[in-house]
A and B are shown apart, each in its own frame.
Chain A
């Protein structure tokens, strides 16, 4: 044999959490013992987490998968001839033909799991920097127009049109301007930002740099949560390499424009995912939310014009600015004002958990059943919480809702950051409602009273309901309290905590009944 066989083992932290490092090491040891030379490379994750660690073997330009691989399987894999695609219980066939992956439309996640995350040449060979190179030749207003035309909306949760935000910052004459990437992905059920930062970090850097060229910003910050040590490590190294290669620095691709990025770590505060709290934190302060207006586009970091975008929003920009798909093809995907693709995340009690990037408009049922395969426990599903801890609990009867910003709003739910947490019929919805208040009490920044006090009172009242104490009266109290929180809170923390609470009461009244509910 002339060239060693290339084997891919993910370095994504979720894959590592299932033993990917040990698998990579054992593969090398076993190969050496058998006198075989292997080229073991580390990729991001494909987002099929039930198969992790997913080992891929490159055979004639195709990648054949084996997963989930345990270290104990490795001698048998060699015996089975896995380097030429041999039969084994772990064999899942050509990875890109696996139904879960084949049925997706991967744009933002096009390279995730395919390349070595920190290999800047690999990135370029797979379409990387094409968007930035094109953007560097365009006037800022054209870049902004293309982002507007693509219909791309903020993927952090609010869904505000990204291009409009950029246009506002472009129109500001005050300098300096800043690009702030919100990588404080705190919603339970979400891991898409983490996957991109660990699996394709240059795409985020490229997107931020395009945003800088579009608006005249010369400095950017990535605010990355401390709960993601691997992502911090990968992003830091990616920034360094991009700087060395001239994609960041005083003269980006000889455009005469400067841009650089500083990574800032969070310190365990969920509220810092709220954009104004994040800006406070980036200024070195307590992460307390700011009253709006003014919006960050006018007065953001250090009071200067600032773009605040989520990781996924910025990571999608390079694809929009490049030749393929380009803004119009991107806009043609999806449904109505929910344009393009959304990285949905299947989480919790799910058989096939992972990342599903698909055009807006497929139904929740398709995601949960066709992709997810139902519950992990095999029991009937009872609810899906969409959009993280501030999102609604959706009952099975509403599973045919199309996944668009608008259709979800129509049923009193929201997309949020695209996380979908599945619960089987063992879930106690009154307990989840109480938890929603408790979480808000734990993570409230304390600046406004409806959130700071309302969350505590809500948790107390919900505990009384669960104990069967004056249930009807206390439910009326919850109704009043949540109304005050919705109307009177400064930000989405207090304003949306009522969403999981009210949806739980509305769709699962039996769990709140005076007789102690179903039990």
Chain B
């Protein structure tokens, strides 16, 4: 028997069923469901695929296909704080490449990886819509303009506390 989730007291597949039910088990809401699940658990594990498929009356292959398509979804838990660093043109035009190298060192995580402590995941994104104040980064849900390694590290510190 699967273990209960410590925060909700639900068995993992019951938690999945609750999220699916919130969207009336509509197959077209699959991406919303996966977003919610990822927000709750930090990832979408292989074990979650079958209960979602059951609830939405889709095949497991369809769920797997969607999970693997969108870059927001992860099969393994991410760090406690997620840092998204913009790697697109507007940020490149004002030193985005150099910033990325410095931030990788500062956070002890390469782009696409989580720091050894498990505190921070660093991800590349393509545009945060803050291109007039580039370079831009998103720490959790906090947007940073004219980003520097210091600003990003400070925001990570605040997010952890």
A348 adjacent to B71 (CB under 8 Å): no
How far in angstroms is the closest Cβ of chain A from B47?
A: 20
Looking at the complex, which of B4-12, B101-109, B114-122, B125-133 is the stretch in contact with chain A?
A: B125-133
**B34 contacts partner chain A, Cβ-Cβ < 8 Å:** yes
B132 touches A268 (CB 8 A): no
CB of A267 within 8 A of CB of B72, answer yes
* A421–B93 CB distance below 8 A: yes
What's the dominant secondary structure at chain B's contact region?
Answer: mixed
For A187, A227, A350, A422, the residue with the greatest tally of chain B CB atoms inside 10 Å of its CB is A227
Which residues 103-161 of B sit at the A interface, judged by CB distance below 8 A?
A: 125-134, 136, 138, 141-146
Residues of B within 8 A of A266 (CB): 31, 70
Q: In the complex where A284-B66, A353-B133 touch, is A226 in contact with B144 (Cβ < 8 A)?
A: no
Q: Given contacts A348-B90, A349-B93, are A17 and B144 in contact (CB under 8 A)?
A: yes
Least Cβ distance of B30 to chain A in Å? 4
Judged by a CB distance under 8 angstroms, whether B94 is at the interface is yes
**Most chain A Cβ neighbours within 10 Å, of B26, B69, B146:** B69
- A140 at the binding interface (Cβ < 8 Å): no
Chain A contact residue count (CB 8 A cutoff): 62
Q: Which residues of chain A come closer than 8 Å to B90, judged between CB atoms?
A: 188-189, 347-348, 419, 421
Most buried by A among B70, B86, B88: B88
Give the size range of B's interface with the partner.
35 or more
Q: Which of B29, B69, B131 contacts A188 (CB 8 A)?
A: B131
A347–B31 CB distance below 8 A: no
B53 close to A (CB within 8 Å): no
**Cα A186 to Cα B134 with chains together (Å):** 15
Q: Is B35 interfacial (CB-CB < 8 Å)?
A: yes
Q: Is the CB of B29 within 8 A of A284?
A: yes
Cβ–Cβ contact A282 & B28, under 8 A: yes
> Do A285 and B130 touch (CB < 8 A)?
no
CB distance from B43 to the nearest CB of A (A): 13
| Contact for B132 among A226, A227, A353, CB less than 8 A | A353
A286 vs B65: C-alpha distance when bound (angstroms): 7
Q: Which residues of B contact A16 (CB under 8 A)?
A: 142-143
**Is A251 on the interface with B (CB-CB < 8 A)?**
no
Contact in complex: B126, A423 (CB < 8 Å): no
In the complex formed, the residue of B with least CB distance to A283 is B28
Q: Are B70 and A439 in contact (CB under 8 A)?
A: no
* A172 CB-CB contact with B under 8 Å: no
Residues of B within 8 A of A270 (CB): 126
Q: When each residue 417-439 of chain A gets 1 if its CB lies under 8 Å from chain B and 0 otherwise, what string results?
A: 00101111001000010010001
Asked if B93 and A285 sit within 8 Å, CB to CB, the answer is: no
Given A14-B130, A188-B90, A189-B131, residue A226 in contact with residue B146 (CB < 8 A): no
User: Is B71 a contact of A268 with CB atoms below 8 Å?
Assistant: yes
Asked if A28 CB lies within 8 Å of chain B CBs, one says: no
Using A226-B35, A265-B32, A282-B28 as known contacts, say yes or no to A188 and B71 having CB atoms under 8 A apart. Answer: no
- Closest Cβ–Cβ distance, residue B58 to chain A (whole Å): 8
Any A CB within 8 A of the CB of B80: no
Nearest CB in chain A: distance from B34 CB, A: 7
- Contact indicator B132/A50 (Cβ below 8 Å): yes
What are the residues of chain A within 8 A of B126 when measuring CB–CB? Answer: 186, 188, 270, 389, 439, 442-443
* Distance A54 CA – B146 CA, assembled complex (angstroms): 16
Digit string of A163-199 for contact with B (CB within 8 Å is 1, else 0)?
0000000000000000000000111111101100000
Contacting A at CB under 8 A, from B6-61, are 26-32, 34-35, 56
Least Cβ distance of A516 to chain B in Å?
19
* Interface status of A49 (Cβ within 8 A of chain B): yes
**Does A229 have its Cβ within 8 Å of any Cβ on chain B?**
yes
Write the chain A residue with the least CB distance to B123: A268
> A349, B94: Cβ atoms under 8 Å?
yes
Q: Which residue of B lies closest to A347 (CB)?
A: B131
Whether a CB of chain B sits under 8 angstroms from the CB of A269 is: yes
CB distance from A52 to the nearest CB of B (A): 7
Nearest CB of chain A from residue B55's CB, rounded to whole Å: 12
Q: Among the listed A187, A424, A427, which residue makes an inter-chain contact with B127, where contact means beta carbons less than 8 Å apart?
A: A187
Contact pick for B145, options A17, A267, A445, CB 8 Å: A17
Q: Which residues of A contact B136 (CB under 8 A)?
A: 17
Q: A330-365 vs B: 1/0 string, CB under 8 Å?
A: 000000000000000111111001100000000000
> Do the beta carbons of A191 and B31 come within 8 Å of each other?
no
* Chain A residues within an 8 Å CB radius of B29: 264, 284
Nearest chain B CB to A272's CB is how many angstroms away?
9
- Cβ contact within 8 Å between A432 and B89: yes
CA distance A2 to B56 in the complex (A): 60
CB distance from A170 to the nearest CB of B (A): 25
The answer to whether A191 and B143 have CB atoms under 8 Å apart is: no
Which chain B residue shows the least CB distance to A223? B31
> A355 CA to B27 CA in the complex, in Å?
39
Q: In the complex, are the beta carbons of A264 and B89 less than 8 A apart? A: no
Closest Cβ of chain A to B143, distance in Å, is 4
Of A194, A265, A442, the contact of B129 (CB 8 Å cutoff) = A194
Chain A residues in 8 Å Cβ range of B34: 267
Q: Is the CB of A13 within 8 A of B132?
A: no
CB-CB contacts of A372-388 with B at 8 A, as 1s and 0s? 00001100000001000
A376 lies within 8 A of B94 (CB):
yes
Contact, CB under 8 Å: A269 / B89: no
Q: Is B78 an interface residue (CB 8 A)?
A: no
Q: Which residues of B contact A (CB under 8 A)?
A: 26-32, 34-35, 56, 62, 65-66, 69-73, 84, 86, 88-94, 125-134, 136, 138, 141-146
Given A227-B127, A227-B129, A229-B141, 18 additional A-B pairs, CB 8 A:
A13-B129, A18-B133, A18-B145, A188-B86, A188-B90, A190-B127, A226-B72, A230-B141, A264-B32, A267-B34, A285-B30, A286-B66, A287-B69, A346-B132, A421-B89, A422-B93, A427-B93, A432-B92
Closest 7 CB pairs of A and B: A353-B132, A188-B88, A347-B131, A17-B145, A284-B30, A267-B70, A348-B93
7 residue pairs from A and B, CB less than 8 Å apart: A189-B89, A190-B131, A191-B129, A347-B90, A385-B89, A435-B89, A435-B92
